[in-house]
Structure 1
Amino acid sequence: MIEFEIKDVESSAYLRFEGKITQGQVAYDGCSFALKLHSTNVSATTHAYDCQFNKWTRFFEELASNSGGWNGVTDCESLEGDLRLEATSDSLGHIRLRIRLRNVDPRTMWSAETSITLEAGQLDTLAKQAKAYFGC
């Protein structure tokens, strides 16, 4: 799979992961993947570097396993902070996914942030898609 997309249920907003994740990496072998964030007020693209892709799969699997809701924030961040996801839930089965993309190059630093809404019924599918994309 060379693409994984998370779509907002209330608007046309989305976060798209693009590019092939190199499979079979060990220890701290890593690779970069492209990110595209789009919403009514924000449009940004960047690349994120990571070497422990199983944490992204675990993040989405954890959301799915707690689809009835949870207290507090569940989060995940790329190795260099290019991508950060923070998920919260309410008692009605809505999940708010706060997304932060940033460019950490000191010459051109920027960040973009928005939130998208998911429904509990999407979480199993997202977890499966994340596993297929990240390969672990």
Structure 2
Amino acid sequence: MPDFLIKDANSSTTFRFEGDIPAGLTGYDGCTFSASVSSHVLSAATTIYDIRPDHWAAFFNDLAVHWRGWQGVKDHESLEGHLRIEAEAADSLGHIRLRMCLRGVDVPNLWMAEISLVVEAGQLDNLARQAESFFGTASPA
């Protein structure tokens, strides 16, 4: 099963996407994949249903293009709100804070897990390549 792994630059915390994303999805075609977080204090996973998974690749590509930083928060959310990622340029040293929010599938408001990871600007190109390999070719969001 293909996966896309994001590792925190300062700890053993990881965020993982897993699943098989069908090629050539268009319009309202959807797919399902999983997302999970693992750290020394938290372990959570959920199933994500989304249309246009290539928009996730576009999100990570946008972060890589703007690796020098940006104002405010860049974010992307799955169709049904089971996954939300917010990216913020954390400091002038090239650190990016990724805030990941997972919600339960059966009853979305029953549980929520949220964690922040720090990645370095130098990791963004690789993350964009991994996202495109996992989700498909990036298109404008």
1:105 aligns with 2:106: yes
If the length of structure 1 is used for normalisation, what is the TM-score?
0.95
- Unmatched tracts of structure 2, length 5 or more: none
The CA deviation at 1:5 is 0.5
1:129 aligns with 2:130: yes
Counterpart mapping for 1:1-136 below 5 A: 2-89=2-89, 90-106=91-107, 109-136=110-137
Q: What is the aligned-residue identity percentage?
A: 53
Alpha carbons 1:104, 1:110 under 8 Å: kept: no
Structure 1's consecutive aligned runs of 4 or more residues displaced over 3 angstroms after TM superposition are none
- Unmatched tracts of structure 1, length 5 or more: none
If the length of structure 2 is used for normalisation, what is the TM-score?
0.92
Q: How many residues were matched structurally?
A: 136
Equivalent-residue separation in structure 2 for 1:62 and 1:81 (angstroms): 21
Calculate the aligned-residue CA RMSD, in Å: 1.5
Alpha carbons 2:5, 2:15 under 8 Å: kept: yes
Equivalent-residue separation in structure 2 for 1:31 and 1:56 (angstroms): 13
Alpha carbons 2:10, 2:118 under 8 Å: kept: yes
The CA deviation at 1:77 is 0.4
Between 57-66 and 106-115, the greater mean CA deviation after superposition: 106-115
Q: Secondary structure at the match of 1:62?
A: helix
* Aligned-partner residue type, residue 83 of structure 1: L
